[in-house]
């Protein structure tokens, strides 16, 4: 497989940005990367897709080189700001967790790049980045033998360290929540089963309101874009493979 050059990586980033702001379609940008910059079409599509996932803080499943990551992360921070940089770092940790969970693989170079990038950021780490990094650490621990984990546990500090993180909260419309809960009438709108328990506060069936098109991705806070679901289905919507 031919090595992708830094010039090709830079071109891929620029064209991915053009797709993001609507100047080019996904396929037009991929074709330009193929025809003018010498990337094969699959690599071109991967770069554009990875950029989109990184801006949203989502897991991406195709491999990305450390060289490309070293260019993408600071470029995202410079061009799109700190929130986008946090999303990108979170996305990379999710990718590391996904990829390392597949088998006997340790993405040491990617870990090094994203750790250095996080260290270069000023201010408070986002809760999203911390959670994604922790998930990757759990995957790494899971791949070790039980004896190695027990050895580390013998010397581990039982009092956890404390760090301060920042989090973004959407001020949601309470009428949307109330109306969706009323519509569900005590049953999950996905699995159709009754709510798993009653709320301690008022004895009503416990369901959680989930936005189909997430608010973080531009989804609307409307009754039409929300469903009332049980905690199990809610976790599946956010973390399930399907």
Domains in the chain: ranges and CATH: 6-143 (no CATH), 174-239 (3.40.1800)
Q: How far is Cα 15 from Cα 29, in angstroms, rounded to an integer?
A: 6
Of 64-78, 127-141, 151-165, the range with the highest mean pLDDT is 64-78
| Average confidence (pLDDT) over 155-184 | 92
| Average confidence (pLDDT) over 69-78 | 97
Q: How far is Cα 239 from Cα 93, in angstroms, rounded to an integer?
A: 14
Query: Where is pLDDT greater, at 161 or 14?
Result: 14
Quick check: 1 pLDDT over 70?
no
Question: What pTM does this model have?
Answer: 0.81
| Average confidence (pLDDT) over 101-119 | 92
């Amino acid at each position: 497989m031919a090595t992708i050059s830094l010039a090709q990586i830079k071109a891929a980033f620029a064209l991915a940005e053009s797709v993001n702001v609507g100047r080019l379609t996904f396929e037009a940008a991929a074709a330009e990367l193929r025809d003018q910059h010498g990337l094969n079409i699959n690599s071109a599509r991967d770069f554009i897709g990875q950029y989109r996932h990184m801006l949203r803080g989502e897991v991406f499943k195709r491999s990305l080189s450390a060289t490309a990551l070293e260019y993408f992360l600071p470029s995202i921070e410079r061009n799109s700001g700190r929130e986008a940089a946090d999303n990108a770092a979170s996305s990379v940790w999710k990718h590391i967790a996904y990829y390392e969970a597949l088998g006997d693989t340790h993405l040491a170079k990617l870990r090094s790049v994203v750790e250095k990038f996080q260290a270069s950021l000023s201010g408070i780490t986002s809760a999203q980045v911390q959670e994604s990094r922790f998930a990757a650490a759990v995957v790494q621990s899971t791949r070790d033998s039980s004896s190695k984990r027990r050895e580390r546990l013998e010397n581990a500090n039982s009092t956890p360290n404390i760090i301060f993180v920042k989090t973004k909260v959407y001020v949601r419309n309470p009428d949307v929540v109330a109306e969706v809960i009323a519509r569900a009438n005590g049953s999950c709108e996905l699995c159709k089963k009754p709510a798993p328990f009653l709320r301690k506060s008022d004895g009503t069936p416990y369901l959680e309101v989930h936005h189909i098109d997430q608010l973080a991705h531009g989804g609307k806070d409307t009754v039409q874009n929300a469903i009332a679901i049980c905690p199990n289905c809610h976790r599946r919507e956010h973390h399930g493979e399907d």
